[in-house]
């Protein structure tokens, strides 16, 4: 199941936003401290994802405060939508998947939901260009695999806190203490709204709190085409589509699936901090030459991530890729970021698994 959330980003002071919001909603809500000129609002009724409620609140806040308001919505990580209001009037709309709820949408409506970089540009941080915004909402190779990635990237251009933009009322109400360091500073609207607690300082080692690098996950996405899952998907879905009278174009569908996983790899690479990692173009070029070429590139640039990359390959049953990693120096006894050895990961496949036998033989040779 994907993410479902709605929030508002308002260019005003927190005190003014709270005062205006109290007149607009009967449910519970939270108002954040101002950060870089933006105040975040999480409203309980808006989490129902009713467009009428969302646009009413956004328009009213914008009108009463005479300011800019952006309302963000993500539905099941499949759809990203925003509405921009200025002085109470709608100035721009965006829907990443306009056909999701209405297959008969007309071209005029589709154009209206496209999103206008010129409307957003005045709100962005200095130095932002129209092309920067285009790269987020009108990418040539499609939007991120997870729709919320659109807003994570857009928030950075707008100077917003991307962590706040990625939450809604329910997420903040249930887990805000753990998700945002300043959760206790959010002001409450509604008598039953819970006060968030300040996060106590923890005496932990920095490494224990570190988020693992997302580079191995990107490799996992890029190598999905070797697992045979695409073909199995077509075998399952093809007859169903044919039964409804739809034309089944296998090559086209396979390309769409592959492109979708490649976009997922692109998104994971954005969150990789490795300074030596290859670019997406380099990785795709090596991937398209085969497991041996990709393993050679990874050995030259990111050998320290071999264990995590191998763990993903083992999970997907990519025997040829595991063999290629071994040929490039993979140690079966090396550990991934969870502390598990490569060999122990393969052991889960069973003693008769070709991958397990391959890694066990390599481990015995190292004794």
Kindly write down the DSSP assignment for every residue of 26-56, as one continuous string: SS-EEEPPPBTTBEEEEETGGGG--HHHHHH
pLDDT number for residue 203: 44
φ/ψ of 70, rounded to 5, equals -115, 125
What value does the mean pLDDT take over residues 251-275? 76
pLDDT number for residue 209: 35
What value does the mean pLDDT take over residues 131-150? 77
What value does the mean pLDDT take over residues 127-155? 82
- Average pLDDT for the chain: 86
Global pTM reads: 0.62
Measured CA to CA in angstroms, residue 30 lies from 70, 104, 137, 170, 176 at distances of: 16, 37, 28, 11, 11
Which has more pLDDT, 268 or 7? 7
Which has more pLDDT, 193 or 66? 66
Range with the largest mean pLDDT of 1-15, 27-41, 142-156: 27-41
Beta-ladder partners of 93: 83
Rounded CA separation 176/169 (Å): 9
φ/ψ of 165, rounded to 5, equals -65, -25
Rounded CA separation 361/367 (Å): 10
Rounded CA separation 284/265 (Å): 10
**Exposure string (b/e) for 192-223, b if CB count within 10 Å is 16 or more?**
ebeebeeeeeeeeeeeeeeeebbbbbbbbbbb
Considering Cα of 308, then 343, then 294, then 329, what sign does the dihedral take?
positive
**Would you say 144 and 161 are in contact if contact means Cβ atoms under 8 Å apart?**
no
Q: Which of 91-100, 187-196, 224-233, 337-346 has the lowest mean pLDDT?
A: 224-233
What value does the mean pLDDT take over residues 232-253? 60
**Would you say 117 and 157 are in contact if contact means Cβ atoms under 8 Å apart?**
no
Judged by DSSP in three states, 181 sits in coil
Measured CA to CA in angstroms, residue 261 lies from 9, 169, 252, 256, 317 at distances of: 31, 30, 15, 9, 17
pLDDT number for residue 55: 97
pLDDT number for residue 78: 84
């Amino acid at each position: 199941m994907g993410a479902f959330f709605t929030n508002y980003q308002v260019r005003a002071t927190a005190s003014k936003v709270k005062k205006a919001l109290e007149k607009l909603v009967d449910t519970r809500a939270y108002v954040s401290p101002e950060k870089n000129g933006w105040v975040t609002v999480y409203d309980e009724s808006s989490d129902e994802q009713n467009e009428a409620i969302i646009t009413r609140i956004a328009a009213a806040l914008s009108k009463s405060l005479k300011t800019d308001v952006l309302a963000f919505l993500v539905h099941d990580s499949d759809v990203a939508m925003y509405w921009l209001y200025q002085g109470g009037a709608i100035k721009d709309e965006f829907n990443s998947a306009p056909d999701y709820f209405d297959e008969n949408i007309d071209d005029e409506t589709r154009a209206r939901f496209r999103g206008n970089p010129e409307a957003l540009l005045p709100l962005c941080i200095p130095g932002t260009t129209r092309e920067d915004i285009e790269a987020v909402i009108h990418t040539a190779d499609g939007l991120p695999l997870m729709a919320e990635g659109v807003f994570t990237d857009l928030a950075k251009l707008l100077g917003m806190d991307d962590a706040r933009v990625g939450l809604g009322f329910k997420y903040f109400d249930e887990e805000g203490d753990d998700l945002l360091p300043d959760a206790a500073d959010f002001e409450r609207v509604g008598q039953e709204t819970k006060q968030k607690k300040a996060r106590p300082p923890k005496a932990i080692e920095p490494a224990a709190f570190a988020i693992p690098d997302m580079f191995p996950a990107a490799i996992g996405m890029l190598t999905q085409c070797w697992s045979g899952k695409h073909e199995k998907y077509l075998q399952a879905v093809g007859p169903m589509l044919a039964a409804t009278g739809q034309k089944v174009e296998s090559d086209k569908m396979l390309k769409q699936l592959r492109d979708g996983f490649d976009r997922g790899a692109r998104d994971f690479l954005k969150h990789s901090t490795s300074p030596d990692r290859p670019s997406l173009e380099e990785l795709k070029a090596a991937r398209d030459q085969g497991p041996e070429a990709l393993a050679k590139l990874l050995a030259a640039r990111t050998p320290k991530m071999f264990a995590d990359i191998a763990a993903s390959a083992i999970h997907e049953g990519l025997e040829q890729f595991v063999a290629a990693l071994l040929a490039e120096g993979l140690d079966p006894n090396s550990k991934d970021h969870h502390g598990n050895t490569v060999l122990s990961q393969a052991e889960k496949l069973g003693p008769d698994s070709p991958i397990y036998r391959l890694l066990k033989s390599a481990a015995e040779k190292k004794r």
